[in-house]
């Protein structure tokens, strides 16, 4: 659910690949979201600790200093972020570690490469207050632009 004091929903992007992070920032911001970016999981948590609470998080799984899976666990452990939807973007296989994190609730797995249009649709869906809080796996279908 979007922050009541924010004109646009807040999206926190945690991605260690510079070019992908910048592309995500530009594409998501162009859809009227307020975006902050982090190079790794540690920086993402620092942004939240300093008082910027996102409405949704887009997070890579494999990052230096602190993995996306640890970011998910940490966000779920704090009252302000315990129900913030998280989209995990990864080229990693859907393994037991990812399944364990998804059991925390409100976490969606989206494999790389991904379709930006589907990512934006997913952001909109997860920010819809009528969305059911269920873990999801979004697979890239045939066709469509990919990254």
pLDDT of residue 97: 86
Q: What is the mean pLDDT of residues 104-116?
A: 90
Quick one: which of 67, 62, 86, 61 has its CA closest to 76?
A: 86
Which residues are CB-neighbours of 69 under 8 A, at least 6 positions away?
A: 61, 88, 97, 98, 101
Pairing mode, strands 136-138 and 86-90: unpaired
For the chain, domains (ranges, CATH) are 10-127 (3.40.50.2300)
pLDDT tens column, 66-109: 999 999 999 999 999 999 999 999 887 778 888 889 889 899 99
Confidence band, pLDDT 50/70/90 cuts, at residue 137:
low
66 versus 130: the higher-pLDDT residue is 66
């Amino acid at each position: 659910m979007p922050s009541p004091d924010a004109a646009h929903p807040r999206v926190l992007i945690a991605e260690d690949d510079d070019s992908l992070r910048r592309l995500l920032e530009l594409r998501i911001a162009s859809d009227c979201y307020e975006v902050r970016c982090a190079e790794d999981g540690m920086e993402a948590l620092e942004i939240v600790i300093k008082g910027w609470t996102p409405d949704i998080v887009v997070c890579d799984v494999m990052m230096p200093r602190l993995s996306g899976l640890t970011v998910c666990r940490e966000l779920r452990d704090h009252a302000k972020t315990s129900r913030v939807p998280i989209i995990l973007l990864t080229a990693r296989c859907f393994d037991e570690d990812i399944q364990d994190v998804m059991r925390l609730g409100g976490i969606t797995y989206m494999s790389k490469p991904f379709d930006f249009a589907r990512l934006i649709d997913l952001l909109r869906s997860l920010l819809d207050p009528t969305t059911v809080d269920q873990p999801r796996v979004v697979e890239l279908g045939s066709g469509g632009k990919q990254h």
